[in-house]
DNA sequence: ATATTTATTTAGATTAGTCTAAATTTTATT
DNA sequence: AATAAAATTTAGACTAATCTAAATAAATAT
């Protein structure tokens, strides 16, 4: 049995590793979780004893297979609950994260299985992120971010990789949502910002930070 | 902000006080929660500092108005979640308790409000227990237990006051459910057991313990 | 290659919730 | 009313998760 806190460590290791590819440093974990590095070191030893991670002093940490499965299970629960909140309980996509952070720790196989059925086996969450399946496979196609594209490319927004209320409110105020059509008018090398035409109407400027968190698909229907 | 554990103390105090009427003793709390009396004493001091309870050394404990409201809020959440599990997720009434014990601690006003709407404002839970309203009133009519009645009385089962899987399985194996018709054939003074006729069919013997947890209504349609 | 900076770990302390054992208060019994 | 029994509290200790400050290892820059 893992505590909420231990589960949060595993989830954070997963998220950092997913973004960086390599092993996860003590400091990056401490920063992400808002705690001190010394605390992280203690917990890494503990999770290593329980064989959820591979940990060598000073060498960073990677998830073991057991740890990886646990991370995917937590993410699966998080995203299913987000879907439930949006589809059944009238939550906005910018309101679900906090509550899902709590719900993802509820322990019950049957609960998740039945929730999945009740939602009719969704494959993506309200932010366009894939929901790992019951067998913990992530049927994720290659993911493209806005910043992967260049001038004149035309794209559709299909997801976001940051579900903080702050970011989602930002998108709302830019009038960007899932399905929005984006034409890149300019890539500014100076600050890595993008000038885009949104839905063939408004022209808006997108900062590097926003561009890094917008998941898009290239759009073939050029006019 | 209260921890899960503090909330469980408050809930337990409420439940014991509800059953006994008077103030709650350190020992009864310790026994109900499966911990030692010394531990309870420490926590009572803490909850008293936070003014959730009225506590005088050696004199037992009662909930303050603030504590009472919190208890009702927790019970409201517990029973709404039970309803959700049974009505939407195909749980049996004997499977919901454990999961609801976890879900009752999720913090989100909006979540509970929307869940209530989604379930169409239920007034009782799957065990026939009343759900406190959003304004935390318990619209409870006087409650009668099987053991309040005598030979030849005819009753309908409208609820249970123990939602442990053990008890509910017991009822299932006796073929007793909400709505069952009971005619009391015999009250055995020796062991306080009851011989009953169930739904005008089978004759079964009910132990004192079961009789204490079956909520019934007198039935006027005698044949 | 050495020195400096940065990252990480160790050591020791703190808080919440728990325990056992001893002391104290209340209740019950003679 | 005095004593015995039961309930409760106090004192001191433990574990998990955190912290700060100091020590050590790794990475970087001269």
Taking 90 as the threshold, does the pLDDT of residue A104 lie above it? yes
Long-range pairs for B110-118: beta carbons < 8 A, 24 or more residues apart: B110/A89, B110/A91, B110/A95, B110/A99, B111/A85, B111/A89, B111/A99, B112/B76, B112/B77, B112/B80, B114/A89, B114/A90, B114/A91, B115/A89, B115/B80, B115/B81, B115/B84, B116/B80, B118/A88, B118/A89, B118/B84
Of A19-28, A55-64, A168-177, B133-142, give the lowest mean pLDDT range. Answer: B133-142
The model's confidence at residue B223, banded by pLDDT at 50, 70 and 90, is very low
Q: How do residues B116-139 score in pLDDT, each as one tens digit?
A: 999 999 999 989 899 998 877 776
Q: How many CB pairs under 8 A join A and B?
A: 42
Cα A208 to Cα A191, A192, B78, B169: the distances in Å are 7, 5, 45, 59
Given CB atoms, is A4 within the 8 Å cutoff of chain B? no
Asked if A118 lies within 8 A of B85 by C-beta distance, the reply is: no
Helix orientation angle between A4-20 and A65-88, rounded to the nearest 10 degrees: 100
Cα A122 to Cα A81, A82, A83, A139, B204: the distances in Å are 11, 11, 8, 12, 48
What integer is the mean pLDDT of A166-177? 91
What integer is the mean pLDDT of A3-21? 96
What integer is the mean pLDDT of A191-197? 89
The model's confidence at residue A188, banded by pLDDT at 50, 70 and 90, is confident
From the candidates B110, B112, B116, B120, which should be mutated to test the interface with A, based on the most A CB atoms within 10 A? Answer: B110
Answer for the pair B28, B16: CB distance below 8 angstroms, yes or no.
yes
Taking 60 as the threshold, does the pLDDT of residue B4 lie above it? yes
Of A174-183, A191-200, B68-77, B188-197, give the lowest mean pLDDT range. Answer: B188-197
Q: What is the DSSP string of B146-166?
A: GGG--TT-EEEEEEES---HH
Given CB atoms, is B98 within the 8 Å cutoff of chain A? yes
Which has more confidence, B222 or B114?
B114
Taking 90 as the threshold, does the pLDDT of residue A45 lie above it? yes
The model's confidence at residue B59, banded by pLDDT at 50, 70 and 90, is very high
pLDDT at B141: 67
CA atom of B136 to C1′ atom of D15, Å: 38
CA atom of A39 to C1′ atom of C13, Å: 13
The model's confidence at residue B82, banded by pLDDT at 50, 70 and 90, is very high
pLDDT at A114: 97
Report all structural domains of chain B as residue ranges with CATH numbers, in order of start.
4-63 (1.10.10.10), 144-218 (2.30.30.90)
CB proximity under 8 Å: B 110-149 to A: 110-111, 114-115, 118
A85 CB neighbours in chain B (<8 A) are: 111
Residues 6 or more apart whose Cβ sits within 8 Å of residue B120: none
Asked if B111 lies within 8 A of A88 by C-beta distance, the reply is: no
Q: How do residues A110-138 score in pLDDT, each as one tens digit?
A: 999 999 999 999 999 989 899 998 877 77
Closest CB to B89: pick one of A95, A103, A118. A118
Cα A60 to Cα A17, A26, A63: the distances in Å are 11, 6, 11
pLDDT at A139: 66
ipTM of the complex: 0.82
User: In a 10 Å sphere around its CB, with 0-12 CB exposed, 13-18 middle and 19+ buried, how is residue B213 labelled?
Assistant: buried
Phi-psi category of B123—alpha, beta or left, where left has phi over 0 and alpha has psi -120 to 50? alpha
Helix orientation angle between B4-20 and B65-88, rounded to the nearest 10 degrees: 100
Q: Which residue of A has its CA nearest to B112?
A: A89
Which has more confidence, A9 or A94?
A9
pLDDT at A138: 74
pLDDT at A222: 40
- Tokens representing residue A147 in the block: 């910043």
Mean pLDDT rounded to a whole number for chain B: 92
From the candidates B81, B94, B104, B106, which should be mutated to test the interface with A, based on the most A CB atoms within 10 A? Answer: B106
pTM over 0.80: yes
The model's confidence at residue A189, banded by pLDDT at 50, 70 and 90, is confident
What integer is the mean pLDDT of B32-38? 97
Asked if A99 lies within 8 A of B108 by C-beta distance, the reply is: yes
Chain A: closest CA distance from residue B160 (Å): 23
């Amino acid at each position: 049995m893992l505590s909420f806190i231990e589960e949060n460590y595993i989830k954070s290791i997963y998220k950092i590793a997913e973004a960086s590819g390599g092993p996860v440093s003590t400091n990056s974990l401490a920063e992400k979780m808002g705690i001190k590095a010394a605390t992280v070191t203690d917990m890494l030893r503990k999770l290593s004893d329980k064989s959820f991670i591979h940990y060598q002093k000073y060498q960073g940490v990677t998830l073991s297979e057991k740890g990886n499965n646990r991370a995917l299970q937590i993410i699966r629960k998080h995203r299913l609950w987000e879907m439930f909140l949006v589809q059944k309980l009238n939550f906005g996509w910018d309101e679900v994260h906090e509550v899902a952070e709590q719900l993802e720790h509820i322990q019950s196989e049957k609960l998740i299985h039945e929730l999945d059925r009740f939602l009719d086996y969704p494959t993506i969450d309200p932010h366009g992120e894939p929901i790992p399946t019951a067998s913990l496979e992530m049927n994720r196609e290659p993911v493209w971010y806005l910043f992967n594209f260049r001038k004149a490319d035309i794209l559709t927004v299909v997801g976001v990789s940051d579900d903080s209320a702050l970011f989602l409110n930002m998108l709302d105020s830019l009038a960007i949502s899932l399905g929005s059509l984006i034409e890149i008018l300019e890539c500014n090398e100076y600050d890595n910002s993008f000038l885009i035409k949104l839905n063939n109407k408004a022209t808006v400027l997108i900062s590097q930070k926003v561009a890094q968190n917008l998941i898009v698909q290239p759009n073939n229907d050029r006019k």
